[in-house]
Amino acid sequence: MRFLKYLQDYRRGGVVRVADSKFAKLISACKDTQKPGKLVLTVTVKPKGFKQVDTVVDITIKAPEQDIPSATFFLTEKNELTLDDPEQTDIEDELAKQRAKSIAG
């Protein structure tokens, strides 16, 4: 029996369907991330008696993942994270002060 026939016959083509599904996921992940990936098909053959062998197929993919970009935060006096620069005045507060001065002045 040749290899392709073996794969078609293994669990009535089940291994081919699994490989096809995993290959589609791999292609999609590679396209989305623009990074390489890998599909590995491993066939283990174990002798079983004089005229038989057991075979086990394992199909794995190493799909690329999206990188999570870094994020910069400011530290408060209490070492808590904030997106607002504690050293910078809030624009709304500045506008309110200017309005108050123009009304008073």
Identify which has the larger pLDDT, 102 or 36: 36
Q: What are the boundaries of each domain within the chain?
A: 3-62, 74-104
**pLDDT tens-place string over residues 29-58:** 999 999 999 999 999 999 998 899 999 999
How many angstroms separate the CA atoms of 77 and 70, rounded? 22
pLDDT of residue 35: 95
CA atoms within 13 A on the CB side of 12: 0
pTM given for the model: 0.64
Mean pLDDT along residues 18-22: 96
Q: Does the structure show a pLDDT above 70 at 105?
A: no
